[in-house]
Amino acid sequence: MSAVASFKGLTPIQYGGREVWPLVEGGKGVAVSNHASSGAWAAAGGIGTVSAVNADFYDENGDRVVQVYRGATRRERHEELVAFGVTGGVEQIRRAHDIAGGRGAININVLWEMGGAQQILEQVLDKTRGLVTGVTCGAGMPYKLSEIAERFNVNYLPIISSARAFRALWKRAYHKVAHLMAAVVYEDPWLAGGHNGLSNAEDPLVPQDPYPRVRDLRATMRAEGIADTVPIVMAGGVWFLRDWQDWIDNPELGQIVFQFGTRPLLTQESPIPQAWKDHLRTLEPGDVLLHRFSPTGFYSSAVRNPFLRNLEARSERQIPYSKVEAGEHTARLDVGVGNKNFWVAPADLQRARSWVAQGYKEGLRTPDDTIVFVDEAERSVIQKDQKDCMGCLSHCGFSSWKDHDDNSTGYLADPRSFCIQKTLKAIVHGEDIEQNLMFAGHAAFNFKTDPFYSNGFTPTVKQLVDRILTGD
């Protein structure tokens, strides 16, 4: 354990048969939460989290292997992706375990909506027996998580955003493997980075206080006979522990653990490129946008850079249509769609003509019976990315891929979205941070004002954990 004095009321917990600080590194997929950051977090006495989502692996010289897909079909490329995922996940876990040196604990994080999630998770756990303490899993309803955890005798930590979601998981599956559920991660859907669990009943523009939601989650857990010693992990918006003092040793909430996803981005061990780290220091409140452009269909939070602004603008150049003249659709669309017979409202026809005059000459249909207007270069990129799909998601709105049955969602591919694996691989490996998706939590603006980062200081993970333990 760290020798640093901890924030008032914060004490170590028992996890995986050892004493650890109740501080979890949030898992960040596609090579961001890698062995270096996660192993260092565990070595500092916390719970490090290796991402098993499109993880990197290396050649005999220690150089990263560029993952090139050679399959002629999506199914063949998907099988390559699964093989890459297993190789990368195993290597990252082994390296993180070595760095941890027997201290802290190593979890792995899996996006349930990633392509081949169950297959990858099972193979990774089989090849890393004894190295992984627990599996965190969200972005979907991972009913089979407890079953998989039991098969490999590891803990599991479901990621949910409401008591209702947890109850559904518990009733259907988790109650059968209660002894391995080490914690429940409450991920605030308005504040967390990456994909968020907002339901259709919740307003993305009206954030809710996490306290009553976590209180309700604990009440649900108690009603199901789950002991207060099973922690709730507060994830999303956590920066200074002093802001959460009322949560520590609070009988209404039971045992609380805190997860940090955004702060570990700016450490010496963090694998993200320097340009990304530098940009984090410039963010202001409101610079992280909760949006719904992800091909998963989930809401997600990312820095509102030109890449995201372009997606916003693209969706604004959109009009509804019908294939027959009906209702207010009385004008035949005569731009952007060649000789196809589409009918739109007269006002929308004028809007379409103005977009075409600005250079957005290509009309692309969406699954929602709308047409979105893009320029020729953008159309080419969209269509190439859709053609090159390697099946990185279980269901992809952008390419209409599905990782089972006939490999099709049955819907039109959606040009308002993007290839998420392409852009996340690009940004983490040093390509333009302005033209790729940059995930971050909504508390990222603190990098600019937190004195800990003044004068360009970049801490080691150990320095960051020690700082967090002081309350700051």
Read off the pLDDT of residues 412-468 as tens digits, 9 standing for 90 and up: 999 999 999 999 999 999 999 999 999 999 999 999 999 999 999 999 999 999 999
> Parallel, antiparallel, or unpaired for β 331-332 and 343-344?
antiparallel
**pLDDT in the model for residue 316:** 98
**pLDDT in the model for residue 137:** 92
13-287+447-467 homologous superfamily = Aldolase class I (3.20.20.70)
Distance spanning both ends of the chain, measured CA to CA:
19
Look at residue 326 and give its three-state secondary structure. strand
Which of 4, 93, 28, 24 lies closest to 280, judged by CA?
28
CB 188 within 8 A of CB 161: yes
**pLDDT in the model for residue 111:** 92
Each residue of 90-128: pLDDT tens digit? 999 999 999 999 999 999 999 999 999 999 999 999 999
**pLDDT in the model for residue 9:** 79
Q: Which residues contact 244 (CB under 8 A, 6 or more apart)?
A: 234, 238, 256, 258
Q: How many CB atoms lie within 10 A of CB 365?
A: 17
User: Which segments of the chain belong to CATH 3.20.20.70?
Assistant: 13-287+447-467
**pLDDT in the model for residue 287:** 98
Q: CA-CA distance, 400 to 423, in Å (whole number)?
A: 18
Strands (E), 129-278: 134-138, 155-160, 184-187, 194-196, 232-235, 256-260
Which residue stretches of the chain have pLDDT < 50?
2
